[in-house]
Amino acid sequence: MYSEKVMDHFQNPRNVGEIENASGVGTVGNAKCGDIMRIYFDIDDNQVIQDVKFKTFGCGAAVATSSMATELVKGKTIYEALEVTNKAVMDALDGLPPVKVHCSLLAEEAIHAALWDYAEKNGIVIEGLEKPKSDIGEHEEEEEY
Amino acid sequence: MDKFIYLDHAATTATRPEVVEAMLPYFTDKFGNPSSVYGFSNQSKEAIADARKIIGESLNTDPANIYFTAGGSESDNWALKETARTYANKGKHIITTKIEHHAILHTCEFLEKEGYEVTYVGVDENGIVKMDELKNAIRPDTILISVMFANNEIGSIQPIKEIGAIAKEKGILFHTDAVQAYGQIPIDVEEMNIDMLSASGHKLNGPKGVGFLYIRKGIKIRNLVHGGGQERARRAGTENVPGIVGLGKAVEIAVNTMKEREAYEMELRDYLIERVMAEIPYTRLNGHRTKRLPNNANFSFQFIEGESLLIMLDMAGICGSSGSACTSGSLDPSHVLLAIGLPHEIAHGSLRLTLGHENTKEDIDYVIDNLKRIVERLRNMSPLYEDFIRASKR
């Protein structure tokens, strides 16, 4: 079902974790649909992404696209990161099954959400960056059972 | 990875070697058409009669009430659609449950488009049908009640005898989809007042592509396939002789070994459930603790998603299944897990493990070791778990 690259990134995901006092954090997706991605950026004074970490709740493709997205933006400037599209993530993974394309969209959105958070924290405007569609983050209440 | 532990017996089972052996002559040597006149074909005809007899006896009914089909879904379709069409003059209302297999649910949806009304009765948190809701759903124009014998995902065994008694009292036909239960637990269609029952060969170590519908004598539902006189003209078409022979053999073995298998699988199942519940935190057992199929365990692991779990189990050589949306191709998780009241994100993190007679305690130990490792790994990757830990530290 998945390409070798997807399986590799699922089995050995790059940059899993959290960043304390991150410059920007973006959480996208919806637990109801079974996918949540959170990306952390550590961005230096030159607007270069020095470090990036992610956490993902989701299927194999969701984990792999998160992992690949972090690789693609690491060491890039925020404007270069903004250029990383879902198609770029998919291509880098040698494609995804059609039902999993939304996972790559989620990865793109997660990058944008983290950049948006960074821009807001620093009171700057990143040209070309639109407010992310969904950032559920910690606003959503924990469901108990 | 040499390890291979198959824990998906509710999906399908291996055909037993004895069953394959019984089938083989009917492909090559005894290939005669059962409808032919010459003596050569008699052995095919007799083989079908023998299989029918074994199955009739297994259900405590006359073999003449057993009609061979191509499997469980076909039997379900026949029972529902043709009952609906035959009894449309009497009424157009059908009662079923929210946790049926799609072979029932999608057939009901089809019938709704054809102008029938269907009431989908709910289940309690253990996946057992709500009897008061079922009773209240009965109307003067109700023609059929269809309730599965045991659920395919969470294994919950339904109060079939009670439902049969109600149906009989009200003069409503009662069908049960027994695809998961048949061959696993005893079924007596007389004692339980079952009018129609669907079953499938490949769930009980028989071949795929063969099953049957039991129809109580005197029930005049329309024929499924029009053509020759096979299956008393109700389901025409030259019989799948090797498949029917294999089904008969599989049923014979299933009946003869039922008691010991039940005891063995229940012990393994309980060992699995007890260890998982004790050793993996934030885990829920789905389905009733005791009123469940001897071979079924179904868990929800909070904060993780089922497909990831299945892939990692597969890499460790373990075959299981999940009610996660990602495994169904839709965005919604299993309708069964939602019907028992699970929130979406918990339903997404479900795992079904269904045992077979060939599984051992060593298999289960290996599975638990891997499950602990994998669940922990996925939780460490999960933003939901991160939030949960942060919230609990506050």
Confidence at B325, pLDDT banded by 50, 70, 90: low
- Residues of A involved in catalysis: 33, 103
pLDDT exceeding 70 applies to what percent of chain B? Answer: 98
CB B312 within 8 A of CB B367: no
3-state SS, one letter per residue, for chain B: CCCCEECECCCCCCCCHHHHHHHCHHHHCCCCCCCCCCHHHHHHHHHHHHHHHHHHHHCCCCHHHEEEECCHHHHHHHHHHHHHHHCCCCCCEEEEECCCCHHHHHHHHHHHHCCCEEEEECECCCCCECHHHHHHHCCCCEEEEECCCECCCCCEECCHHHHHHHHHHHCCEEEEECCCCECCECCCCCCCCCCEEEEECHHHCCCCCCEEEEECCCCCCCCCECCCCHHHHCECCCCCHHHHHHHHHHHHHHHHHHHHHHHHHHHHHHHHHHHHHHHCCCEEECCCCCCECCCEEEEEECCCCHHHHHHHHHHCCEECECCCHHHCCCCCCCHHHHHCCCCHHHHHCEEEEECCCCCCHHHHHHHHHHHHHHHHHHHHCCHHHHHHHHHHHC
Answer yes or no: do A55 and B386 touch at CB < 8 A: yes
Q: Is A65 helix (H, G, I), strand (E, B) or coil?
A: helix
Average pLDDT over residues B190-200: 98
Question: ipTM greater than 0.95, yes or no?
Answer: no
Distances (CA, A) of A139 to A13, A129, A136, A142, B391: 27, 22, 6, 9, 12
Answer yes or no: do B381 and A145 touch at CB < 8 A: no
| pLDDT(A135) > 60 | no
Tell me whether A35 touches chain B (CB under 8 Å): yes
Answer yes or no: do B344 and A36 touch at CB < 8 A: no
Q: Which residue's entry shows tokens 């990134």?
A: A9
Answer yes or no: do B311 and A60 touch at CB < 8 A: yes
Instruction: In whole angstroms, give the CA distance from residue B139 to residue B141.
Output: 5
Size of interface A-B (CB pairs under 8 A): 78
Confidence at A33, pLDDT banded by 50, 70, 90: confident
Mutate to test the interface with A, among B125, B310, B331, B334 (most CBs of A within 10 A): B331
Average pLDDT over residues B183-195: 98
Confidence at B293, pLDDT banded by 50, 70, 90: very high
Mutate to test the interface with A, among B125, B301, B313, B348 (most CBs of A within 10 A): B348
- A13 exposed, middle or buried (CB, 10 Å; 0-12, 13-18, 19+)? buried
Tell me whether A50 touches chain B (CB under 8 Å): no
- What residues of chain A lie within 8 A of the CB of B342, using their CB? 145
Closest CA in chain B for residue A37: B383
How close is the nearest chain A Cα to the Cα of B378, in Å?
8
Query: pLDDT tens digits, residue range A38-50?
Result: 999 999 999 999 9
Query: pLDDT tens digits, residue range A62-111?
Result: 999 999 999 999 999 999 999 999 999 999 999 999 888 988 999 999 99
Distances (CA, A) of B15 to B2, B9, B179, B201, B247: 22, 11, 16, 9, 10
CA angle B312, B316, B322 (to 5 degrees): 45
A139 vs B302 pLDDT, higher one: B302
The pLDDT value recorded for residue B1 is: 54
Query: pLDDT tens digits, residue range B1-31?
Result: 589 999 999 999 999 999 999 999 999 999 9
Tell me whether A5 touches chain B (CB under 8 Å): no
The pLDDT value recorded for residue B230 is: 97
The pLDDT value recorded for residue A133 is: 72
Confidence at B328, pLDDT banded by 50, 70, 90: low
Other C-beta atoms within 10 Å of B72: how many?
Answer: 26
Query: pLDDT tens digits, residue range B35-92?
Result: 999 999 999 999 999 999 999 999 999 999 999 999 999 999 999 999 999 999 999 9
Confidence at A143, pLDDT banded by 50, 70, 90: very low
